[in-house]
Amino acid sequence: MEFNSVPSLLHITSVRIALRLLQDIEIEKMLDLDIMRPYRLNSFDRGRHDLWKLIEKTAMEKLPPLPPSLPIQVAKFIRQMHYEFVSWLLDHNLMSEEKGCCINYRKFICWKTDGTINRIKTAEKFIEDEEIEHPDRLIVACNYLFVCDILRLWRQRKVSGTENVTRAGNNSAVRVWMHLLTKGNKKHVHEVFRDFFRTECLSESDIPLRLSSYFRFLSLECRRDYLVNYSFAIHADDFRLCLFQMSEQERTELFQTMPRVVLMNYLNWPLQYLFLKMAKELVQYLDLADFENIMDGMLSFLFLNEYDYASLFKEFWTIIPDCFKVELRKDIKRFKPFEIILNYDRKLYSKSLVETLAEYCYE
C-alpha cells in the first residue's frame, strides 16, 4: 500500500516560486497578521478570509508572466506553506504568545521540494544559533535526539547557570534527558526510554513530542497507543516518519484496525492527492463513525485554509457505501453542511463555499 508522496515537476516548480513570494517583505508582513489571529477549527473567520484574499491578490500581482493555471496554484501554495510554518511554530512551542518575543524564526526554515519543512535540518540550524535562548535549544536537541548537542548544551548550561530547562517546556524527551543528565542511570538507556515514553507519563501541560526520534525504542503497544490515541501530543509530520519505521505487517495492522487515523493524516497538505487512493483501499474497514469523523475533518480543513477540499469531499462521498449514506442523512441538521458541499455550484451562488457554509452553520 502506497503511503509516500513523490512531488511532480509542476508541484516542485510551484513550491520554488511560492518560496520566493514567502520571502517578500510586503507579503511577510501580511503573513504575520495571520499568525496573530486566533486559530479556530470548525469556524469561519471573516477577517482571515479577507486577509488571504488580499495576500493571494498581492502575490499574483508580483508574479512574472507564467502559464495560465500556474499563478493560481502558486498563490494557493503560499497559504499551504505558511501553515506548514505555523505548524512548525506550534510544535516547537514558539508562537509569539508563548515566547513573548519577536525572533524571525523563518530564517531557520529549510524547505523540501514538496513544500514541507525539513525539520531535522531546521532543528540543526536552530540549535546552532546563539540568538535563541539556551533552554529552547536544549529542548529541541532533546526532542530530536541529537545526543552530541544535548551533551554540549548541557555542559554550557552548567557553566552559564541557565535557568531550569523545563520551565521553557516539558515532555517525555526532556524528562528522560533531565533524568539521565542529573541522576545518571543503571538501566540500559533503551529501557529508560521505554519507561519515560509510556503514555501514562504524558501531561496536559506537555509541549508536542518528536515521537519519530524515539519510535524505534518503543514497544508495539506503545507505538500504536501514541498514533491512535495521542496523535495530538506529537509533531504534525511525525505520523509518516513513524510509518517508515514500522514493519510491513505492523503498518498493515494499523491501516486495517485504525483506518480513520490513517486517512485523517492524508488530509494534510501536500498528501491530499493520495487521500482518495488510500480511502478506496481502506473503505472496507471504515464504520459509520469513521465516515462522520473524516467528513467533519474535511469541513474543518476547508474552513481553516480553503484548499479544494470540496472536490475531495465529493469524490469521497462517491465511495461511501449506500447503507452508510442513508444513516448519515438521518441527522438532518448535522448533514446540512455536508449537503451544501455536495450541491454547491459557484455559478449558482453569489458567495464562496466557505461563506455559504458559514451563513448556515455559524451565523
What gap in Å lies between CA 293 and CA 260, rounded to an integer? 8
With a CB cutoff of 8 Å and minimum separation 6, the contacts of 331 are: none
pLDDT by residue (tens digit) across 275-305? 999 999 999 999 999 999 999 999 988 887 7
The model's pTM: 0.89
Residue 97's pLDDT band (cuts 50, 70, 90): low
Quote the pLDDT of residue 326: 97
Q: Which among 48-62, 146-160, 175-189 has the top mean pLDDT?
A: 48-62
What gap in Å lies between CA 144 and CA 126, rounded to an integer? 12
Take residue 192 and report the three cell numbers written for it: 529508560
* Cα R_g (the chain), whole angstroms: 22
Mean pLDDT within 141-154 = 96
Quick check: 16 pLDDT over 60?
yes
What gap in Å lies between CA 52 and CA 63, rounded to an integer? 16
What gap in Å lies between CA 105 and CA 102, rounded to an integer? 9
Helix (H/G/I), strand (E/B), else coil: 145? coil
Quick check: 94 pLDDT over 80?
yes
CB of 203 closer than 8 Å to CB of 170: yes
The neighbour count for residue 48, using CB atoms within 10 Å, is 20
What gap in Å lies between CA 272 and CA 251, rounded to an integer? 20
pLDDT by residue (tens digit) across 250-280? 999 999 999 999 999 899 888 888 899 999 9
